[in-house]
Amino acid sequence: VGLSPNLDRQTMAEFSQKRGKRRGDEGLGSMVDFLLANARLVLGVGGAAVLGIATLAVKRFIDRATSPRDEDDTKGDSWKELSLLKATPHLQPRPPPAALSQPVLPLAPSPSAPEGPAETGPEVTPQLSSPAPLCLTLQERLLAFERDHVTIPAAQVALAKQLAGDIALELQAYFRSKFPELPFGAFVPGGPLYDGLQAGAADHVRLLVPLVLEPGLWSLVPGVDTVARDPRCWAVRRTQLEFCPRGSSPWDRFLVGGYLSSRILLELLRKALAASVNWPAIGSLLGCLIWPSMASEELLLEVQHERLELTVAVLVAVPGADADDRLLLAWPLEGLAGNLWLQDLYPVEAARLRALDDHDAGTRRRLLLLLCAVCRGCSALGQLGRGHLTQVVLRLGEDNVDWTEEALGERFLQALELLIGSLEQASLPCHFNPSVNLFSSLREEEIDDIGYALYSGLQEPEGLL
């Protein structure tokens, strides 16, 4: 059974438009279900999937031709329909029929064929055909993909860390000379590359630029208690104004309505990085090219070395401002949250994954790296970032199941299923802050595109590798 590209695109478009609605034509739906169920027995899993998608497209064509456009009862639940195509467990494939499993006997010479002369020339030795490629299991393909697309050479990691450390020292010296009145802490490079959570290439480093705030003069206010009503953020409020009036702290120049403004601080540092720093001289000293990225609202430095390309994210931070040791970042937020500080949960998430793996010698971090590399190499899954995938692995990782290397393939499929379930509900709660939905920034069409790609990947996981 074949499926043309146009029909595949039509199916995907219909799948995206009709997600989450009730099906009306039960007779035709029952026929499709019966057809798909029997197609698995005859055509196998792959043939049933292709036949199912083609049948789904034809059925929808009939629906559109026989029903009014504004009648919701005729619109099907595409997410549920495609779930009918989900393959049976890959670890127990259905054996072939007995007739097909018998050895193939050599063909006997045809009695009607003319016999050639016995001595027509030297006998030609038949050439042996090359052996057929081995059929790898999903587990073996995952391990091969990890070796080829996840693991980063140690020399590349060491070079990236060296460059990041040198840039941190140069930038810290510049800030202290440019803003001597502002107390900054030690600039600390870190992030996934330093925690063994970077996949594919050593191309990204976080550089924390901590503010040193005076004890007792500042307090944190949850974002939900501000006019922004944003659970992701916190406000840094100036206190003790009756005893330490405004101007007593060097950070008072960045106050807006009695709160420390992340937006004003970001604007000041962005101008300094773009116009005041002598990047050619620093790059020449470090043996590379460095320039600030002007296309992003974040503070990004692009580094080009003859052996690698690196992006350094300069993160202005308020560390440990309360008893819970929260890390708050100056982030380019929009609207009423523009002056708030975004809570950074990466250190907590990385520490939790490490603790879970250390407890049972598990492979949770390896699963996260595999998922990151898969999404990085698939354009349809590019909207799924490390933050989304970390929540999936954390949710699975808390379960008391087998996390040995032998179960890595099973956990990989389980992660795909959890992602699909979250996309169906357009909801992916943050593990450490369930009131935050990490899918809230995705548009409807983006969710549908990701869902379609994941459904296809669940049918044939090897296609993602």
| Angle value at C-alpha 227, between 225 and 228, nearest 5 degrees | 90
pLDDT at 35: 55
Q: What pLDDT score was predicted for residue 91?
A: 43
Q: Are residues 313 and 371 in the same domain?
A: no
The H or E element spanning position 313 is strand 309-319
**Residue 331 in domain:** yes
Confidence grade of residue 136 (pLDDT, cut at 50, 70, 90): confident
| C-beta of residue 449 within 8 angstroms of C-beta of residue 375 | no
- Are 329 and 386 members of one domain? no
Give me the pLDDT at residue 194, please.
Answer: 96
Cα 255 from Cα 239, distance rounded (Å)? 12
Separation of CA 238 from chain center: 38
Is 272 found in the same domain as 207?
yes
Tell me how far apart the alpha carbons of residues 350 and 6 are, in angstroms, rounded to a whole number.
43
Kindly indicate the confidence band of residue 170, based on its pLDDT and cuts at 50, 70 and 90: very high
* Same domain flag for 339 and 373: no
| Whole-number pLDDT of residue 4 | 45
Say whether pLDDT at 259 is over 60. Answer: yes
CATH code, 272: 3.30.460.90
Assigned domain for 394 exists: yes
Burial code (b: 16+ CB inside 10 Å, e: under 16) for 204-213 equals bbbbbbbbeb
Residue 293 in contact with residue 301, Cβ under 8 Å?
Answer: yes
- Residue 172 and residue 184: Cα distance in Å, rounded? 8
Residue found by looking up tokens 């009730």 in the block:
22
pLDDT, one tens digit per residue, over 278-321 is 999 999 999 999 999 988 899 999 999 999 999 999 999 999 76
Count of the separate structural domains present in the chain: 2
Tell me the pTM: 0.74
Q: Which of 394, 399, 401, 400 has the alpha carbon at shortest distance from 364?
A: 394
Is the pLDDT at 60 greater than 80, yes or no? no
Examine residue 404 and state whether it is found in any structural domain, yes or no.
Answer: yes
- Taking 90 as the threshold, does the pLDDT of residue 427 lie above it? yes
Q: Is residue 59 part of a domain?
A: no
pLDDT at 105 over 50: no
Residue where a domain terminates, one of 344, 377, 397: 344
Same domain assignment for residues 367 and 338: no
Residues 202 and 243 in one domain: yes
Please report, for the domain that includes residue 413, its CATH number.
1.10.1410.40
Q: Are residues 327 and 377 in the same domain?
A: no
Among candidates 440, 456, 439, which has minimal Cα distance to 380? 456
> Same structural domain for residues 340 and 366?
no
Residue 402 zone, left/alpha/beta (φ > 0; ψ -120 to 50; rest): beta
- For residues 312 and 324, what is the distance between their CA atoms, to the nearest angstrom? 27
Category of 435 on φ-ψ map: left (φ > 0), alpha (ψ -120 to 50) or beta: alpha
105 in any annotated domain: no
Of 344, 370, 385, the residue at which a domain comes to its end is 344
Q: Give 461's pLDDT tier (boundaries 50, 70, 90).
A: confident
What pLDDT was estimated at residue 416?
96
If asked whether residues 183 and 328 sit together in one domain, one would say yes
User: Is residue 327 located within the same domain as residue 367?
Assistant: no
Q: Which of 285, 315, 344 is the last residue of a domain?
A: 344
* 133: in domain: no
Domain that holds residue 290: 152-344
51 occurs within a structural domain: no
Which pLDDT value is given to residue 16?
52
Residues 458 and 367 in one domain: yes
Q: Both 375 and 331 in a single domain? A: no
